[in-house]
Amino acid sequence: MKLKAALALLAVVSPLIAHAQFAKPEDAVEYRQSSLFLLGNHFSRLGAVVKGEQPFNKDEVAKNAELVATLSKLPWPAFENGVTTPKSKAKPDAFSNHAKFKEASDKMELAVAQLNTAAKGGDLASIKKAFGEAAQTCKSCHDSFRAK
Ligand code: HEC
């Protein structure tokens, strides 16, 4: 391959590689917990609106749903090195049963993408329904793969 073509290819794939790499293996734990923390925070803000604890502001809801959809893609590569120290709550199955874990994360990403679409539409009833379905995908993965 010509050098120029090789460099162009590297420029395309290197962000994908960098995605799953960490300076220290334990950084993966912090990365996944931090991204899930942010995801949980913005998801809860939507939950407060859905439960009627906060007023329905379409723009705020759309902003949070967009963030949730973006954040939903971040945690998974940080599970790939299988590191659980320090203080990970991931059960061993999250690493050994990769296919089932991936299925659960795919389901969640799809559900929050649908929630994002509903949020952009601005209809509260559709948002509530999509939120409920997304919340179910969090719960089902936590039940199987996260220690109490
Ligand atoms: C594919 C499985 C999976 C899905 C789907 C999932 N989670 Fe989790 N979640 C985990 C695991 C595993 C942990 C523990 C990670 C660790 O400690 O290493 C976790 C941890 C968390 C934490 C704690 C982060 C911290 O501060 O340490 C929050 C908050 C969270 N998830 C929120 C959510 C929300 C909200 C959703 C749905 C929108 C969701 N999760 C969907 C597997 C999942």
* Digit-coded pLDDT (tens) for 67-81: 999 999 999 999 999
Asked if residue 19 has pLDDT above 60, the reply is no
Looking at ligand 1, which atom is closest to the CA of residue 144?
2
How high is the pLDDT of residue 21?
A: 83
pTM of the model: 0.89
Instruction: Report the C-alpha gap between 12 and 112 in whole angstroms.
Output: 27
Distances (CA, A) of 63 to 46, 67, 78: 10, 6, 25
DSSP character at residue 21: -
**Ligand 1 and 71: CB distance under 6 A:** no
Which one of 41, 139, 142 would you pick to mutate in the ligand 1 pocket, going by the greatest count of ligand atoms within 8 A of its CB? 142
Ligand 1 centroid–CA 102 distance in Å is 13
Residue 55: is the preceding peptide bond cis (ω within 30°)? no
Assigned superfamily of 24-145: Cytochrome c/b562 (1.20.120.10)
How high is the pLDDT of residue 7?
A: 64
Ligand 1 centroid–CA 76 distance in Å is 10
Q: How many residues does this entry show for the chain?
A: 148
Instruction: Report the C-alpha gap between 136 and 142 in whole angstroms.
Output: 10
Take residue 30 and report the two structure tokens written for it: 């912090």
Between 5 and 36, the higher pLDDT residue: 36
